[in-house]
């Protein structure tokens, strides 16, 4: 049962199927990357359910009709580097004109605390709906800091999306940002002593980019 009111945990057979392949240590880099994109695309449909639409007049082959569209330049994607890059194309498949910012974070191996090393955002981001993406919400530290940095720059509409989350990460994130909805495909059991999610899928960045 979901104990977090602002967290949407997916319970979809197709996502469960894809996550099971994603977890498998024998799944290669190409398939792993494709699965991350596919799961993200499915999640994006739900995450965009409440975005603002504007009325437009469209002329069909038979008549004019009033329809609704997302405003141009209304969505931005902000991956937390580096693993978050693997989710960008999944969102772009749904909204291909979304601008992309980047937040670079690394985790101290001893303290597990996040440190920012890169920050670049599209112009006018404070007026956009911003999807912060990171495949793994483990300790929650990087996501908490990334969203805090966006809020400091005036961003008001933020959504957090992760493939796998640990209870510890959700607890930390929802405590820090109770106003930000979180979309998670799967809630796992716990973190180990090194801050990795169990059962998890290993290091998402390494598996996406073949660095190990």
Per-residue pLDDT band for 160 (boundaries 50, 70, 90) equals very high
Query: Looking at the predicted structure, is the pLDDT value of residue 74 above 80?
Result: yes
Q: Which whole number is the average pLDDT over 104-123?
A: 79
Catalytic residue, candidates 65, 97, 111, 211:
111
What digits encode the pLDDT tens for the residues 13-32? 999 999 999 999 999 999 99
pLDDT given for residue 38 in this prediction: 97
Q: Which whole number is the average pLDDT over 56-77?
A: 94
Q: Which whole number is the average pLDDT over 71-80?
A: 92
107 is a catalytic site residue: yes
Cβ proximity of 115 and 105 under 8 Å? yes
pTM: 0.90
pLDDT given for residue 116 in this prediction: 79
Q: Look at residues 32, 37, 9 and name the one whose alpha carbon lies nearest to residue 20.
A: 32
CA angle 33/35/39 to nearest 5° reads 125
Query: Looking at the predicted structure, is the pLDDT value of residue 71 above 90?
Result: no
Q: Which whole number is the average pLDDT over 36-60?
A: 94
Catalytic residue, candidates 33, 41, 99, 206:
206
Q: Which whole number is the average pLDDT over 116-142?
A: 93
pLDDT given for residue 112 in this prediction: 64
Query: Looking at the predicted structure, is the pLDDT value of residue 73 above 90?
Result: no
108 is a catalytic site residue: no
Query: Looking at the predicted structure, is the pLDDT value of residue 36 above 80?
Result: yes
Per-residue pLDDT band for 2 (boundaries 50, 70, 90) equals low
Q: Which whole number is the average pLDDT over 46-72?
A: 93
Q: Which whole number is the average pLDDT over 58-69?
A: 96
- Domains along the chain? 7-209 (3.40.50.2020)
Per-residue pLDDT band for 60 (boundaries 50, 70, 90) equals very high
pLDDT given for residue 211 in this prediction: 87
Please give the Cα distance from 138 to 195 (Å, whole number): 7
Question: pLDDT over 70 for what percent of the chain?
Answer: 97
Per-residue pLDDT band for 113 (boundaries 50, 70, 90) equals confident
Tell me the three-class secondary structure of the chain, residue by residue: CCCCCCEEECCCHHHHHHHHHHHCCCCCHHHHHHHHHHHHHHHHHHHCCCCCCEEEEEECCCCEEEEEECCCCCEEEEEEECCCHHHHHHHHCCCCCCEECEEEEEECCCCCCEEEEEEECCCCHHHCEEEEECCEECCCHHHHHHHHHHHHCCCCEEEEEEEEECHHHHHHHHHHCCCCCEEEEEECCEECCCCCEECCCCCHHHHHHCCC
Residue 195 tokens, joined: 């801050």
Catalytic residue, candidates 23, 33, 99, 203:
203
123 is a catalytic site residue: no
11 is a catalytic site residue: no
């Amino acid at each position: 049962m979901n104990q977090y009111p602002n967290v949407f945990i997916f319970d979809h057979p197709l996502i469960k199927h894809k996550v099971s392949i994603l977890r498998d240590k024998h799944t290669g880099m190409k398939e792993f990357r494709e699965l991350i994109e596919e799961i993200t695309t499915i999640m994006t449909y739900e995450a965009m359910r409440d975005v603002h639409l504007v009325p437009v007049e469209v002329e069909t082959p038979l008549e004019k009709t009033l329809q609704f569209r997302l405003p141009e330049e209304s969505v931005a994607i902000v991956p937390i580097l580096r693993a978050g890059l693997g989710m960008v194309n999944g969102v772009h498949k749904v909204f291909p004109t979304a601008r992309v910012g980047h937040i670079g974070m690394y985790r101290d191996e001893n303290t597990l605390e996040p440190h920012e090393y890169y920050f670049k955002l599209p112009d006018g981001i404070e007026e956009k709906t911003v999807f912060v993406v990171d495949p793994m919400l483990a300790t929650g530290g990087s996501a908490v800091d990334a969203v805090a940095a966006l809020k400091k720059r005036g961003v008001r509409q933020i959504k957090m999306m992760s493939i796998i989350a640990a209870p510890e990460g959700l607890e930390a994130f929802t405590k820090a940002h109770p106003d930000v909805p979180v979309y998670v495909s799967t809630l796992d059991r716990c973190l180990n002593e090194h801050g990795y999610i169990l059962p998890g899928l290993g290091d998402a960045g390494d598996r996406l980019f073949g660095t190990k």
